[in-house]
Amino acid sequence: MLSKTLVFLGLGLASATSCVATAHAAAPAMPAEARATLSEAIAADHDQALSRLREWIALPSINAEKLNRQEGAELMQRMLLDAGFDTARIIPTDGAPGVFGRLDAGAPTTLAVYFMYDVKQFEAHEWSQPPLEGRLVERDGKTVMIGRGAINQKGPEATLLTAIRAFKTTGTPLPVNIVLVAEGEEETGSENFGQITGDPEVAKALADAVGVILPVAWQGNDGGVEIYLGAKGVAEVQLVADGAKSGRGPGMEIHSSLGASVENPAWRLVKALDTLVADDGYTPAIDGWMDDVRPLSDEQIALIESGIRPGAEAAAKKELKVQGWIAGEDYRSSLVRLASQPTVTIQGLVGGYTGPGGKTSIPSRAEAKLDFRLVPDMQADEVVSKLRAHLDKRGFTDIQIVTGGIYGPTETSRDAAIVRALEKALAGADVPHTLTPRLAGSWPGYRFTDPPVSLPAVFVGIGQGGQAHAPDEWYLIDAEDPKLAGIDRQALFFAEFLYALANTKP
């Protein structure tokens, strides 16, 4: 579910001088000898790193299809041990197993890392390259690897492991200890992730960490990076109007002439859906939905405003193929809305005949897939109950609610050690950045940021990729533009971040 392409591709960056926080602008204390040693090892490992990523892409773990769940966990376990982790244990759950790894460097600082090893489904005929081969393709001055999971999230995760491997192969002491938690159900809502983070050994290890990171590769074409201080939550549900089960409509498809005497489940669903938003078509209207929404602070709004640069709006419209924003709002207002507002979204509607011509029939069943984006302080465990109560109050007791994955929102202080370390690492790497209050996409980070774990969490990385969840998903390997980081530079940046974190006071 995690994808930066779901957030307009960000705000667009201001100049490096204005967006890098001066309080954290000192270069990270990575010893010159370690930098040279690790850089040389990463470069020497380049071809093998590509081979390891191809091997991972070749094994798709698709939880929605219950495909390769155990095999995916076993490969994840082997990859951690091969990269230098001391231990890697498979944790059974009621669904796909998780993996817990530890690397004890004897350091005073411990970092937690989140991985996912599952990927989205794919239709091979929609791709220009085989989706499970990880082929290299040249385009627009870039060498990219195409494959399912290439950017979401196997590419960035494999590159972090390449960095850790470099410490192992060169005998360079790792500056921090690492505990790593991996799951195989992120793309279906992390249904059983709580069983992994709740494992006694995992919970104890997380309690010693200063924060949690998720490796990403979200550099903009101008070379800049956004630091997200949180993410929206998400709840996926399916609403179903079924004449056979409810008695409100036919139990089979019937002739439309009978519409004068028999209810149509498609209309029943449409009427129910119409109550979920106001007449404007986008303001949530579910009873109690907005009660717990916390408005953005003045500081958070200022962060959004400071990150807008000339040309960003035009670039966003071109990328999204849109002509304007909701209610004709200006770009600044649309970005504030994007960060602050919960949403009610119809993903898709299915019901009755959709082939060529007409069929003059009444369907027996209609269904809609929806997702709701949640913001602080909305409670994920209240989503379904509020939706049920809203529908029941309006007489739609017959509409079935089929629940999917549900994530709560996350929020992290800009003063957290992992955020300050990331700013140091980016400044030291001469990568401009902005801080942004909230990612409009979602991930199961609330398992870390909420009690009882209560850790700050942030996305870390440079590099690029795209087409997550879509055909021709890609991950940047090399680029002619020196502002864009290929995988060797990405791996070295992860090492720089670890040193920055080790030298950042909690």
Residue 320 lies in a domain: no
Residue 139 lies in a domain: yes
CB 113 within 8 A of CB 181: yes
CB 364 within 8 A of CB 258: no
Name the DSSP letter for residue 32.
H
Q: What percent of the chain has pLDDT over 70?
A: 94
CA distance to 32, 37, 75, 175, per residue, from 168 (Å): 18, 11, 20, 12
356 exposure class (CB count in 10 Å sphere: 0-12, 13-18, 19+): exposed
Q: Is the pLDDT of residue 429 over 80?
A: yes
Whether the bond into 377 is cis, omega within 30 of 0: yes
Q: Is the pLDDT of residue 23 over 80?
A: no
CA distance to 49, 115, 208, 274, 314, per residue, from 455 (Å): 31, 16, 10, 39, 37
Closest CA to 289 of 378, 361, 402: 378
pLDDT at residue 405, as a whole number: 87
Closest CA to 230 of 21, 379, 461, 408: 408
CATH of the domain at 253: 3.30.70.360
CB 62 within 8 A of CB 118: yes
pLDDT digits (tens, 9 = 90+) for 85-114: 999 999 999 999 999 999 999 999 999 999
Mean per-residue pLDDT, 464-478: 97
pLDDT digits (tens, 9 = 90+) for 121-152: 999 999 999 999 999 999 999 999 999 999 99
63 lies in the same domain as 195: yes
CA distance to 95, 97, 99, 161, per residue, from 92 (Å): 8, 5, 9, 23
222 lies in the same domain as 269: no
Those residues whose C-beta lies under 8 Å from the C-beta of residue 15, and which sit 6 or more positions away, are 309, 432
Mean per-residue pLDDT, 256-261: 97
pLDDT at residue 37, as a whole number: 98
Q: How many domains does the chain have?
A: 2
Name the DSSP letter for residue 6.
G
245 lies in the same domain as 223: no
Place of tokens 């670890």: 498
Task: For residues 146 and 112, give the distance between their C-alpha atoms in angstroms, rounded to a whole number.
Answer: 29
221 lies in the same domain as 102: yes
219 lies in the same domain as 353: no
Q: What percent of the chain has pLDDT over 90?
A: 90
Whether the bond into 48 is cis, omega within 30 of 0: no
Sheet order of strands, 474-479 included = 135-139, 142-146, 474-479, 465-466
CATH of the domain at 35: 3.40.630.10
Using alpha carbons only, what angle is made at residue 196 by residues 195 and 199, rounded to the nearest 5 degrees?
85
Q: Is the pLDDT of residue 319 over 90?
A: no
In DSSP notation, 57-94 reads HTS--BGGGTBSHHHHHHHHHHHHHHHT-SEEEEE--S
Task: For residues 350 and 361, give the distance between their C-alpha atoms in angstroms, rounded to a whole number.
Answer: 15
Domain boundary among 378, 407, 436: 407
Q: Is the pLDDT of residue 357 over 80?
A: yes
Q: Is 466 helix (H, G, I), strand (E, B) or coil?
A: strand
18 lies in the same domain as 154: yes
Q: Is the pLDDT of residue 19 over 90?
A: no
pLDDT at residue 28, as a whole number: 56
pLDDT at residue 315, as a whole number: 87
466 lies in the same domain as 432: yes
**DSSP-derived pairing of the beta strands 457-460 and 110-116:** unpaired
Tell me how far apart the 2 most distant CA atoms of the chain are, in Å.
83
Task: For residues 35 and 426, give the distance between their C-alpha atoms in angstroms, rounded to a whole number.
Answer: 15
Residue 306 lies in a domain: no
For the chain, the distance separating the N- and C-terminal CA atoms, rounded to the nearest angstrom, is: 31
Closest CA to 66 of 184, 242, 212: 184
Domain boundary among 363, 390, 407: 407
pLDDT at residue 7, as a whole number: 42
> What angle do the packed helices 69-83 and 46-57 form, to 10 degrees?
160
pLDDT at residue 495, as a whole number: 98
Whether the bond into 452 is cis, omega within 30 of 0: yes
User: Which has more confidence, 61 or 18?
Assistant: 61
pLDDT band for position 310 (cuts 50, 70, 90) = confident
Q: Is the pLDDT of residue 118 over 90?
A: yes
What is the overall mean pLDDT for the chain? 93
Residue 289 lies in a domain: yes
Using alpha carbons only, what angle is made at residue 103 by residues 100 and 107, rounded to the nearest 5 degrees?
135
Domain boundary among 361, 382, 407: 407
281 lies in the same domain as 247: yes
Task: For residues 198 and 91, give the distance between their C-alpha atoms in angstroms, rounded to a whole number.
Answer: 11
147 lies in the same domain as 259: no
**DSSP-derived pairing of the beta strands 433-436 and 225-228:** parallel
Residue 331 lies in a domain: no
pLDDT digits (tens, 9 = 90+) for 48-91: 999 999 999 999 999 999 999 999 999 999 999 999 999 999 99
Residue 434 lies in a domain: yes
132 lies in the same domain as 249: no
Task: For residues 242 and 110, give the distance between their C-alpha atoms in angstroms, rounded to a whole number.
Answer: 52
Query: What tokens were used for 309?
Result: 């640069």
Those residues whose C-beta lies under 8 Å from the C-beta of residue 113, and which sit 6 or more positions away, are 160, 178, 179, 180, 181, 212, 213, 214, 215
Query: What tokens were used for 184?
Result: 């195989």
Structural domain including 171 reads 4-228+409-502
**DSSP-derived pairing of the beta strands 177-183 and 98-103:** antiparallel
Residue 448 lies in a domain: yes
502 exposure class (CB count in 10 Å sphere: 0-12, 13-18, 19+): buried
195 lies in the same domain as 83: yes
Task: For residues 296 and 31, give the distance between their C-alpha atoms in angstroms, rounded to a whole number.
Answer: 40
115 lies in the same domain as 243: no
CB 371 within 8 A of CB 234: yes
Closest CA to 199 of 176, 182, 184: 182
Residue 319 lies in a domain: no
